[in-house]
Amino acid sequence: MKHWTTLILSFVCWVGIAQEEALFDAATEHYNAGKYEAAAEKYLQILENGQHSAALYYNLGNCYYKLNRIAPSIYFYEKALLLDPNDPEIKSNLAYAQNMTLDVIEAIPQSGISKIIDRVTGLLTFDQWSYTAIVLMLLFVTFYIAYYYMRYASRKRLAFVLSLGCLFLAMASVLFAYIQHNQYLKRQPAIIFDTEVAVKSEPNTRSQDAFILHEGTKVQVLEQLNEWKKIALADGSTGWLPQQSLKPIKDF
pLDDT digits (tens, 9 = 90+) for 57-115: 999 999 999 999 999 999 999 999 999 988 999 999 999 999 999 998 888 887 778 88
Residue 9 is predicted with a pLDDT of 38
The pLDDT tens digits of the residues spanning 18-56 come to 568 888 889 999 999 999 999 999 999 999 988 889 999
Q: How far is CA 37 from CA 68, 85, 105, 134, in A?
A: 11, 26, 31, 45
Question: What pLDDT is recorded for position 18?
Answer: 55
Task: For residue range 233-245, list pLDDT tens digits in order.
Answer: 999 999 999 999 9
In this prediction, residue 112 carries a pLDDT of 77
Calpha distance 82→70 (Å, rounded) = 18
All structural domains of the chain with their residue ranges: 2-98, 115-167, 189-248
- Is the pLDDT at 5 greater than 50, yes or no? no
pTM for the model stands at 0.83
- Nearest to 240, CA basis, from 217, 194, 209: 209
What pLDDT is attached to residue 17? 56
Overall average pLDDT of the 157-176 stretch: 95
Angle at 143 between CA 141 and CA 146, to 5 degrees: 110
The mean per-residue pLDDT over the stretch 180-190 comes to 92
Structure confidence at residue 16 (pLDDT): 42
- Domain 2-98, CATH: 1.25.40.10
Mean pLDDT, residues 116-123:
86
Please report, for the chain, how many H helices and E strands are present, in that order.
8, 7
Give pLDDT, residue 14.
38
Residues 163, 167, 171, CA angle at the centre, nearest 5°? 170
Phi, psi (degrees; rounded to nearest 5) at 215? -60, 145
Q: What percent of the chain has pLDDT over 70?
A: 92
pLDDT at 4: 42
Q: CA–CA distance from 115 to each of 111, 124, 128, 188 (Å)?
A: 6, 15, 20, 20
Q: What is the mean pLDDT of the chain?
A: 89
The answer to whether residue 13 scores a pLDDT higher than 50 is: no
Per-residue pLDDT at 7 exceeds 70: no
pLDDT at residue 15 in the model: 40
- Going 71 to 73 to 75 to 81, the CA torsion angle's sign is negative
SS3 content of the chain, % helix, strand, coil (to 5): 60, 15, 25
**How far is the C-alpha of 136 from the C-alpha of 165, rounded, in Å?**
9
Which pLDDT belongs to residue 79? 97
CATH architecture classification, 189-248: Roll (2.30)
